[in-house]
């Protein structure tokens, strides 16, 4: 039944569960269930064949009690208002868990970027930006990359916003190229944070990361960096996949060579010296760490019983359904929840925003060192609550995060 849940229902169900554990008062609970504002825009775009296509775009702000709205923009045919709203809510919790001063937002456009030219993507992004301008701004709402958007997309948003206000405003987006005010280390930040929490979690379980068998679903921004950094930390990355399928090599893949192959072939499949496997098979491989780093709803009630990993680290947002969560917990599989495991991206986005506002830029070593410090702190905080309250890591992370947002919401009061 849970498998039928839509993402917003799932996010609300998680909130309801946490509310009981933290004795959240009814009125704050009610306010946190709702997204503060939603902007739905039509994005007319001139296509290369001379036709006009009108795409639908969304930008949702969930709760801004702790600071301006922060969250990615994704381009995908499956984008829906409920999904974007759920992701905005998760961003509120993630920022609070990392104790960074942002509220949660998310955006998306219903489109298939794989079938669009660079020119069409640029035109769509620029029109989207002008439609969203009324709510964007460095002290209002700061987008970032997400599925199928990247540093180039952020550069277009930055340029369009700046052109409209008449001066350069780099801090209106994060995840932009270093040449226009991006932060060193941002590209790899989500992967670095993910590997950092995995190292801490393995340490807690008494297992070294060196030699640990790691499986990664997704070979985009998050999956690629996670695989590369896991390998650098001494882990054996035995399988990775993308939307076209996966590759398996029990002795460990050479990730640098795979990155080159992927650049040329446009997919991981066909990498020399590997066996092909499907995404379904990959999720069920025998390994120490399984990292779903692609889409949501990958581990469900249907396949969680067959997961053979010692630990699941959620690189993606919402990859595990509530039914799968219960099954993994019953089977003693340690779970690093998304709002912790993939929080490295928004954390370095925060660093990027701070550096932009100060106009003073840090070295990559400084960025990485500060990131790892915050990730270790967040992991320790969540583990402490999990052990003290005898609850799962996910529930512990939510208890911490929701308590912080509730406190800010409560102390600011309700206007009018």
Q: Counting contacts by CB under 6 A, is residue 222 touching ligand NAD?
A: yes
| Nearest CB to ligand NAD, comparing residues 146 and 284 | 146
Stretch that binds ligand NAD, among 1-9, 39-47, 240-248, 401-409 (CB under 6 A): 240-248
Check residue 229 for interaction with ligand NAD (CB under 6 A). Answer: no
Per CB under 6 A, 226 contacts ligand NAD: no
Q: What is the layout of strands, in order, in the sheet containing 334-336?
A: 275-277, 245-248, 236-242, 213-217, 286-292, 308-313, 334-336
Q: Which residue is nearest to ligand NAD (CB)?
A: 220
**Contact status, residue 269 vs residue 245, Cβ threshold 8 Å:** yes
Neighbour order of strands in the sheet with 69-76:
37-46, 52-61, 103-110, 69-76, 141-145
How many chain residues touch ligand NAD (CB under 6 A)? 24
Question: Per-residue x/- mask for ligand NAD, residues 273 to 302, rule CB under 6 A?
Answer: ------x-------------xxx-------
The CA dihedral of 163, 169, 171, 173, to the nearest 10 degrees, is 0
Q: How far apart are alpha carbons 18 and 36 in whole angstroms?
A: 20
Smallest separation, CB 408 to ligand NAD (Å)? 22
Q: Does 315 bind ligand NAD (CB under 6 A)?
A: yes
Please spell the DSSP secondary structure of 197-254, one letter per residue: HHHHHHHHTT--STT-EEEEE--SHHHHHHHHHHHHTT-EEEEEEETTEEEE-TT---
Q: How far apart, in Å, do the first and last CA atoms of the chain sit?
A: 40
Of residues 68 and 345, the one with the C-beta less far from ligand NAD: 345
Question: Using the rule CB under 6 A, is 218 a contact of ligand NAD?
Answer: yes
Burial string for 366-389 (b: 16+ CB within 10 Å, else e) reads ebbebbbebbeebbebbbebbeee
Using CB atoms within 10 A of its CB, is residue 229 exposed (0-12), middle (13-18) or buried (19+)?
buried
Report the nearest approach of ligand NAD to the CB of residue 388 (Å). 27
Q: Shortest gap between Cβ of 82 and ligand NAD (angstroms)?
A: 15
345 sits near ligand NAD (criterion: CB under 6 A): yes
In whole angstroms, the minimum distance from the beta carbon of 379 to ligand NAD comes to: 16
- Residue 255, beta-bridge partner list: none
Should residue 220 be labelled a site residue for ligand NAD when binding is judged by CB under 6 A? yes
Q: Which residues within the stretch 94-153 sit at the binding site for ligand NAD (CB under 6 A)?
A: 145-148
Cβ atoms of residues 184 and 362 within 8 Å: yes
106 part of the active site: yes
Find the binder of ligand NAD among 90, 93, 102, 219 (CB under 6 A). Answer: 219
Nearer to ligand NAD, 21 or 244 (CB): 244
**For residues 67 and 101, is the Cβ–Cβ distance under 8 A?**
yes
Instruction: Decide the pairing of beta strands 286-292 and 213-217.
Output: parallel
User: To the nearest whole angstrom, how small is the minimum distance from the Cβ of residue 384 to ligand NAD?
Assistant: 24
Residue choice 231, 241, 320, 321 for contact with ligand NAD (CB under 6 A):
241
Among 153, 171, 197, 221, binds ligand NAD (CB under 6 A): 221
44 vs 362: CA distance, rounded Å:
39
Spatial separation of the C-alpha atoms in residues 60 and 106, rounded to whole Å:
5
Q: Which of 70, 94, 106, 176 is catalytic?
A: 106
Q: Which is nearer to ligand NAD, 190 or 249 (CB)?
A: 190
Return the axis-axis angle of helices 364-389 and 186-204, rounded to nearest 10°. Answer: 40
The nearer residue to ligand NAD, 148 or 160, going by C-beta atoms, is: 148
Closest distance to ligand NAD from the beta carbon of 175 (Å) = 7
Residues at the contact surface with ligand NAD, assessed by CB under 6 A: 145-148, 190, 217-223, 241-243, 279, 293-295, 315-317, 342, 345
Task: Show which residues are catalytic.
Answer: 106
């Amino acid at each position: 039944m849970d498998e039928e849940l839509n993402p917003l229902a799932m996010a609300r169900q998680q909130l309801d569960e946490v509310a009981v554990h933290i004795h959240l008062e009814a009125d704050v609970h009610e306010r946190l269930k709702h997204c503060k504002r939603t902007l739905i825009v039509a994005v007319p775009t001139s296509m290369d064949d001379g036709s006009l296509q009108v795409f639908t775009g969304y930008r949702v702000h969930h709760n801004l009690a702790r600071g301006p709205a922060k969250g990615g923009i994704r381009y995908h045919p499956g984008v829906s208002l409920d999904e974007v709203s759920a992701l905005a809510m998760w961003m509120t919790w993630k920022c609070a868990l990392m104790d960074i001063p942002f509220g949660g937002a998310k955006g998306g456009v219903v489109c298939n970027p794989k079938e669009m030219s660079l020119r069409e993507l640029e035109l769509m992004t620029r029109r989207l930006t002008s439609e969203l301008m009324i709510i964007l701004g460095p002290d209002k709402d700061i987008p970032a990359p997400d599925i199928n958007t990247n540093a180039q997309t952020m550069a277009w948003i930055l340029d369009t916003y700046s052109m409209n206000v008449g001066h350069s405003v780099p801090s209106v987006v994060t995840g932009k190229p270093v040449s226009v005010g991006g932060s060193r280390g941002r590209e790899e930040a989500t992967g670095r944070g993910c590997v950092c929490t995995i190292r801490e979690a393995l340490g807690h379980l008494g297992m070294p990361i060196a030699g640990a068998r790691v499986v990664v679903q997704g070979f985009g921004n998050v999956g690629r960096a996670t695989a590369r950094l896991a390998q650098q930390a001494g882990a054996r990355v035995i399988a990775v996949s993308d939307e076209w399928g996966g590759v398996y090599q029990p002795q460990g893949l050479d990730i640098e060579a795979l990155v080159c192959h992927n650049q040329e072939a446009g997919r991981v499949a066909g990498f020399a010296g590997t066996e092909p496997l499907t995404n379904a098979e990959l999720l069920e491989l025998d390994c120490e760490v399984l990292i779903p780093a692609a889409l949501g709803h990958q581990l469900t009630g249907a396949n969680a019983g067959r997961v053979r990993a010692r630990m699941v680290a959620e690189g993606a947002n919402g990859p595990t359904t509530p039914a799968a969560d219960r099954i993994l917990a019953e089977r003693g599989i340690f779970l690093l929840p998304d709002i912790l495991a993939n929080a490295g991206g928004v954390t370095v986005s925060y660093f990027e925003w701070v550096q932009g506002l100060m106009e003073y830029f840090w070295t990559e070593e400084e960025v990485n060192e500060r990131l790892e410090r915050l990730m270790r702190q967040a992991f320790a905080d969540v583990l402490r609550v999990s052990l003290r309250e005898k609850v799962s890591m996910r529930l512990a992370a939510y208890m911490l995060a929701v308590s912080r947002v509730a406190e800010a919401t409560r102390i600011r009061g309700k206007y009018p």
